[in-house]
Structure 1
Amino acid sequence: MSKTVERITFILTWIFQGSSYLSAYGYGIMHRMHHAYTDTEKDPHSPSYDANMFAMMWKTKTIYQDINKQRIEVDQRFTKNVPQWKSFDKFASSRFSRLLWIAGYILIFALFATAWWQWLLLPITFMMAPIHGVIINWFGHIYGYVNFKMKNTSKNLFRFDFLMMGEGYHNNHHKYASSPNFGVKWYEIDITYLIIKVLNAFGVIKLKPIRIKD
């Protein structure tokens, strides 16, 4: 995508992720590390080396922050072409920004909640990124089915992934890590890939052809 579209995407990410904002730079690098070191001691998040999902997410948070704030040295192969907007990330990841979003969520619930039990959903709005991380990086390596036998524990969570918009096809993604389409079987519809195709058709982004090797 162009630099302008890239910056717009950063801003839209902040708007839609809100208090759960994750830097494309920090998480992009960590995701590459996860693929390079899957289910080893160097994996930033692996059920094979973490006692429980809470320990895994705390470890993930620590590594993410160390990468994003450049407190650790990262191999150049993980940083190549990863987008970065330091000044915006500093604001979007700040405590002020997160508290601002949390205050906004509370206000929305105060205005529109019609029953007491609806307030039980409020913490979910605060913690969407960690919840998503647990679903994919914990449960996606424990439960589900596999299309490809690999030297890791990755699994596909759903046959039609409506919940994670395609990211639940985790086994497929580990097999073809460079493919933007996580679906392989006819029933594995990757909703995010369909959005990518639409954006490509309108010229918002340019979808490069990918050569997949078995």
Structure 2
Amino acid sequence: MAILIFFLAHWYLSLFSQTFFLHRYAAHQMFTMSKGWEKFFYVFTFVTQGSSFLSPKAYGIMHRLHHAYADTEKDPHSPSYSDNLFHMMWKTKDYYNDILNDRANIEPKFKKGVPNWMFMERLGDLWVCRIGWGVLYTLFYIYFATNPWVYLLLPIHFLMGPVHGVIINWFAHKYGYVNFKVNDTAKNLLPFDFLMMGESYHNNHHKLGGRANFGIKWHEFDPTYPIILVLNKLHIIKLKLNNDLNYM
């Protein structure tokens, strides 16, 4: 039971960091926050993503490129230009590292306003930190595991961020339904998104890239959006009035 609770907590807390801070804030700037709260969510992302910490700077830039060049040769992660999902994950990893280490020739417009706390960016990317988080996950399993099969979940803990990414960037470009005609293959993967906290409404998002609520139809509940509304009400963030507009 403890293992299941830990797995679900890691899944959804890591996913919240990705969809709220990396995606909706760093990439799309759907809302603003103070530098103090930005640093808080940097630390929150570091703790919740752990061994698979994703740089808000690199993620934000790469995701903007994905929207600008979706399903073209310039797209950092398009299933249309990969043989399989592992090939796409590897290409994405290389592209991400080039952006993170300033090796990529990126137009200034894609870098505008992305958060960049260098201390946390470097700390989260250190291999000693990634391995340290992995050791902690493994020790937790050793202490609480009651059946050997649960150890099969450990690789997902180690690669939680990339696992979340590939579910959307691969499967939501191949399977699902569409509400809007767009110039790419983005689809809504699930009619009720119990799994990805709103991220699976990928077709909706590609049509309305700056809209903070990813759900459109009555059954498309975006679990992250009510949290955004609460944080806005508490003045932790400030929603932009024009968040229904596309970023690019």
TM-score interval for Structure 1 and Structure 2 normalised by the shorter chain: over 0.9
Q: What's the CA shift string for 1:167-214, capped at 9, x where partnerless? A: 000000000001111111111111111111111011111111126369
Give identity over the alignment, percent: 55
Task: Give the counterpart of 1:7 among 29, 39, 44.
Answer: 39
Structure 1 letter corresponding to 2:51: S
Higher RCO (CA < 8 A, seq sep 6+): 2
What is the match of residue 188 of structure 2? 156
Q: Which residue of structure 2 aligns with residue 71 of structure 1?
A: 103
In structure 1, the partner of 2:73 is 41
**After the TM superposition, which residues 52-91 of structure 1 pair with which residues of structure 2 at under 5 Å, given as runs?**
52-91=84-123
Match of 2:126 in 1: 94
Point out the structure with the larger helix share. Answer: 2
**How far apart, in 2, do the equivalents of 1:212 and 1:3 lie?**
24
TM-score normalised according to structure 1 size: 0.97
Alpha-carbon spacing, 1:30–1:206, altered in 2? closer, same or farther (3 Å): same
Instruction: Find the counterpart in structure 1 of residue 55 from structure 2.
Output: 23
Following TM superposition, by how much is the alpha carbon of 1:66 offset from its aligned partner in structure 2, in angstroms? 0.6
- TM superposition score normalised by structure 2: 0.84
Aligned structure 1 segments of 4 or more residues deviating by more than 3 angstroms: 211-214
Structure 2 unmatched ranges of 5 or more: 1-32
User: How far apart, CA to CA, are the structure 1 residues paired with 2:243 and 2:59?
Assistant: 24
- 8 Å CA contact 2:89, 2:162 repeated in 1: yes
How big is the shift at 1:151?
1.4
How many residues in Structure 1 have an aligned counterpart in Structure 2? Answer: 214
Specify the alignment match of 1:32 in structure 2: 64
Contiguous gaps of at least 5 residues in structure 1: none
Letter in 2 for 1:121: L
Task: Indicate the residue corresponding to 2:23 in structure 1.
Answer: none
For 2:244 and 2:44, how far apart are their aligned partners in 1?
30
SS at match of 2:61: helix
Q: Which amino acid aligns with 1:116?
A: P
1:133 match: 165
Q: Among residues 220, 223, 237, which one is paired with 1:188 in the alignment?
A: 220
CA distance in 2, matches of 1:213, 1:76: 21
